[in-house]
């Protein structure tokens, strides 16, 4: 299926996939090593999920706003936890300003609340691409492990 004009596109996308896979596997290995014997499953699951998002964001790099936001969020997790609580209180006035689905989209895309609408759409497109490739790679890894 690789026609000649598409080759470069495929190559770049694949390199993001491989970068993500590499980071994610490293993270899994590290998780396995650091695992405490009495840590519960839910914590482990959250760590794995975090690892997936963090490796995706770092595979994309800092050229995208959503990946920057995601990395920043992960690095300052202790800080954001307090801010999240504050944000819940002021959520209602924020809801009323915009119209509904845009606000929801802003919540879904990392860092989307400070973008204007045009950039939000731009970042959403890139985020969707990366998420779908992330899902593919994770599924591949899972197949590999379970087989």
d(CA 48, CA 59): 16
**Of the candidates 9, 12, 79, 95, which one interacts with another protein according to CB under 8 A?**
79
Q: Which is nearer to another protein, 4 or 77 (CB)?
A: 77
Reference 54, options 84, 34, 82, 75; nearest CA is: 75
Query: Counting contacts by CB under 8 A, is residue 83 touching another protein?
Result: yes
Tokens of 6: 């598409």
DSSP-derived secondary structure for 119-135: HHHHHHHHHHHHHHHHH
Residue 128 CB, nearest approach to another protein (Å):
5
Site string for another protein, 30-69 (x = CB under 8 A): xxx-xx-----xxxxxxxxxxxxxxx-xxx-x-------x
Query: Counting contacts by CB under 8 A, is residue 9 touching another protein?
Result: no
**Size of site (CB under 8 A) for another protein:** 90
Residue 4 CB, nearest approach to another protein (Å):
20
Query: Counting contacts by CB under 8 A, is residue 16 touching another protein?
Result: no
Helix (H) or strand (E) holding 77: helix 77-89
Which residues in 95-134 contact another protein (CB under 8 A)? 101-102, 104-114, 117-118, 121-122, 124-125, 127-129, 131-132, 134
Tokens of 62: 């800092």
Tokens of 49: 């999920």
Radius of gyration of the chain (CA): 18
């Amino acid at each position: 299926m690789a026609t000649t004009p598409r080759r470069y596109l495929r190559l770049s996308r694949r390199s993001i996939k491989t970068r993500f896979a590499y980071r994610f596997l490293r993270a899994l290995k590290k998780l396995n090593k650091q695992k405490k014997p009495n840590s519960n499953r839910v914590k482990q699951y959250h760590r794995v999920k975090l690892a997936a998002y963090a490796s995706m964001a770092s595979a994309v790099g800092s050229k995208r706003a959503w990946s920057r936001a995601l990395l920043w969020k992960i690095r300052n997790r202790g800080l954001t936890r307090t801010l999240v609580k504050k944000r819940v209180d002021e959520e209602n006035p924020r809801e009323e300003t915009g119209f509904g689905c845009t606000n929801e989209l802003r919540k879904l895309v990392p860092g989307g609340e400070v973008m204007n609408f045009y950039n939000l759409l731009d970042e959403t497109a890139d985020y969707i691409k990366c998420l779908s490739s992330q899902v593919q790679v994770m599924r591949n890894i899972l197949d590999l492990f379970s087989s």
